[in-house]
Structure 1
């Protein structure tokens, strides 16, 4: 199957994921409007940022397939150096998506602190906020057209940020699940654990997809499609297990 055909299929798939995410966001916002639960609002903004990341990933494919902007298709053509070109390059190289994923991950750390009412540990807070800001700034500004290594580093930094936030969140939720007896709390904690695991798996799936591309695969492997599916699993899990019963 040709690369552009695969990209078109990927674009349609991401559009479906976006529509599902939008429906879930509306449901979450309605729950917040009813109960005004602050943690629900934080979850809403986490999922909103993830959805925006998917939207810009979808937009990158739309631009590549239909924009007919020559310098985006041919790296041998000079960079116009305009603000429009600046933002276009960052969209098609997924840098904008990385920014929204990073923001959502930082918000997830805030959620973890609020859920367990533990207060901020200064070293942990400084590490996550500093590295998160670094990751966002890197995604925006450290970019050389056609220099794949810098894009790999951007992907790596986002992955590290997600791991240092979601892995501890996952274990903390699982420990809380095993330590409480009330069924409602057990469901709430396990749903957040599933959410955390799902979000980590998003980037693991993308990593495997990237490795297969480097090994000669045309891309858009089953791992690519699994990645965004995990985003829906994470949102649905949090909504059904935590937001809907508790908020």
Structure 2
């Protein structure tokens, strides 16, 4: 039975991954932004443990963890949480840049740093749910795409640094996926949102579980998932 720490388990892809892993009997450690959210996640996934830390404030993650019991064993760290806020470069304020860079890049780096001892001990896996925007940037996506391009760089560097310690590192690049985030994107784009037009979160979860379950003689470095319609 494996133990997974998951960010973003409250909705979208993260919720689909958490549900699938919970249903098959794996142990879950779910990161929540506050105590109220932690209580909700614990009720949704009986037996799961929770940790509280706000990804919007990466400078305080280490302090938050120092006040909570940490898992002594970890087989995978799944970075699924993310935030998005669109706008042209001419209008994006520094605060908007910081919000997306902190949640999408700096906090994943900090979480990985803090949990590397457990991952090294288990020869575990770090999986980053990136985005198609982490490979190609488009108009009004500059801040989000920059954070996701940075996340790719983080994963690529980590893979080389930790190979000798047996840690596998995977980046998954989903296209547009039916989720609350996608609903927000459509609203900002001024478009009508129809979730049936986009990838089901369960389909992305299937690819993530495939990467986790791959025999140890192989590693998936980069995996792109596109809408089939």
The reply to whether TM is greater than 0.5 is: no
- Normalization by structure 2: what TM-score? 0.33
> Higher Cα Rg: structure 1 or 2?
1
Q: Which structure has greater helix proportion?
A: 1
Q: As a proportion of its length, which structure holds more strand?
A: 2
**RCO (CA 8 Å, sep 6+): is it higher in 1 or 2?**
1
